[in-house]
Amino acid sequence: MTRLAYLIPMAIFAILAAFFIVRLEDVKRGEDPKKLDSVLIDKAITPFDLPPLPGRGEATGLSSENLKGEVTLVNFFGSWCVTCKLEHPFLMRLKELKLVPLHGIDFNEPAEKGMIWLAQGGDPYDRVGSDPNGRVVLDFGLTGAPETYLVDQQGVIRYRHQGAMTQEVWDAEIWPLIVRLREGK
């Protein structure tokens, strides 16, 4: 019995040490330890049809059909999300540049809150859908907010960025991928 009492903690320590060493090697290779891989990369988006936010002058919101035909970005946000507020000025600059269609999905809040937030802070989106119950969030496999997805011309998810989009992320990861997708590569 006393022998087993020593072996169990040692086995737990060995397992934890192995996990730590593997993660440390990932970091050495330049992988972000906070980044979660998405099983939805290179998969077609699940069909959806969301109502619009009130006050935007749109008769329709955002559907999966709006994400086909050209490379687009889909940004998930909420007025409750502090990091979304930090990301917002960059999204407004993207709107001015008109480099790629940018669509938004306001989630986990009443549509009126998202409408008020965009009215106060500016609206960077071409189309916005309201997902108050988070149904589409589950279909996209969201892990937090904000989160941005790059969807190709066929409606296939090609990239996911977790957290606030920045100029550095745009220049290093998103824009080069948009160019390659537009060129058919």
Using an 8 Å Cβ cutoff, are 46 and 39 in contact?
no
Cα angle, residue 69 at apex, residues 171 and 145 outer, rounded to 5°: 50
Summary mean pLDDT of the chain: 85
Stretch 132-149: mean pLDDT? 91
Structural domain boundaries in the chain: 1-32, 49-182
pTM of the model: 0.79
Q: What pLDDT digit, counting tens, does each position of 26-68 carry?
A: 545 544 444 445 668 889 999 999 999 887 777 678 999 999 9
Percent of the chain's residues with pLDDT above 70: 79
**Predicted pLDDT at 22:** 53
- Nearest CA among 150, 59, 135 for reference residue 103: 150
**Predicted pLDDT at 121:** 92
Q: What own/partner pairs with CB < 8 Å and gap ≥ 24 does 110-119 have?
A: 111/51, 111/53, 111/54, 112/54, 113/78, 113/79, 113/80, 114/53, 114/77, 114/78, 114/79, 115/53, 115/54, 115/55, 115/56, 116/79, 117/79, 118/53, 118/56, 119/55
Q: Say yes or no: domain 49-182 is CATH 3.40.640.10.
A: no
**Predicted pLDDT at 33:** 46
- Strand pairing category for 102-107 and 72-77: parallel
**Predicted pLDDT at 1:** 59
- Strand pairing category for 157-162 and 147-151: antiparallel
Q: What pLDDT digit, counting tens, does each position of 68-84 carry?
A: 999 999 999 999 999 99
Residue 27 CA: distances (Å) to CA of 33, 131, 160? 6, 35, 19
